[in-house]
Amino acid sequence: MIGRTLTADWPDTINPLRLMGWLAFETVRWCGGLGTLFVSSAAAWTRPARLGEMKIFKAGFQQMVWLIVWGAPLVIILHIGLGSFLALQAFHGAIFLDAVGPVVGVGLFRNVGSQMSAMIVAGLVSTHTVAELRLNRSQLDRTGTGKIVDRDAAKGLASPSAINSTDGARLTLARVLGAILAGPVLGFIGCVAGLISGLMVSRSILDVPTVWFLYNFVEMLWARDLVGIIVKGSVFSGLASLIACHEGLRRPEGVADDLGVSMWRAALLGMIAILLANSAWFTFMFLGGAPFGRTVLEPPVPR
């Protein structure tokens, strides 16, 4: 009874070997389904919209808008806490005021800003997207209340069952596209909010001049940090949205069984995917080439 609350289709007999085989099979099946959905959604880009169906760009724009509107307050609140924490940590850890601006600003823009914003996106899509695709997908991405009509089916050139059918790949493409566009915007909003919060704490508590705070921050900021907000924000949010769409489309429409488990699994796997992608970015950008940029302290010189 406890097992069934954790995941769907838990094996009836808890045998170690059977459980290992079941987990391996489920992992391969889930990853295979995710890969298939990714390929089919990418291919859906070339298919023209059917009568009564939104164009991809319009549907993606709507997804981007709701993510920014609902995600921005959460991102701002989260980064206010991060910015104030980094300001105090920089002072008490480095014991000199020159470090406050770089630690707050560069720490947000280079490291945690995009990652934390993408975590917010993962939480939003794991609830909203999974629920809407599972419960009401046939009514999504329409230009009106009428049914979607496939032109070939209407002319007798395709199966009549294609009329008013739901294209899960196209729904996925619109939601992933919206998340890709919203990710960098939310990441930048979060970094700015955290920077302002750190600046206010530095001025009020540490008595750091605003000009000195901003000057030291800009001195340590590299162009690739700003590029990273765009790249990481797009990739991280797109991965979380793709996983959420996969979870929403795994079961037939209208099936509410294990809906909470699907939401939890989408959030968990989306956040894991973000962590793995962030580690890959760190490996290639920090360790794969020249030093990432200037630091507060000069590097040690060999004697």
Q: What are the tens digits of pLDDT across the range 150-187?
A: 554 455 444 444 444 568 889 999 999 999 999 999 99
Cα–Cα distance measured from residue 69 to residue 71, given in angstroms and rounded to the nearest whole number: 6
Q: Quick one: average pLDDT of 78-89?
A: 87
Cβ–Cβ < 8 Å for 84, 192: no
Check residues 219 and 273 and name the one with the higher pLDDT.
273
Band (pLDDT 50/70/90 cuts) for residue 294 is very low
Tokens at residue 12, please?
């009836």
pLDDT at 74: 95
Computed on alpha carbons and rounded to an integer, the radius of gyration of the chain in Å comes to 23
Cβ–Cβ < 8 Å for 63, 177: yes
Q: Which of 52-66, 81-95, 103-117 has the lowest mean pLDDT?
A: 81-95
- Compute the mean pLDDT over every residue in the chain, rounded to the nearest whole number: 81
Handedness of CA 274, 277, 279, 281 (dihedral sign): negative
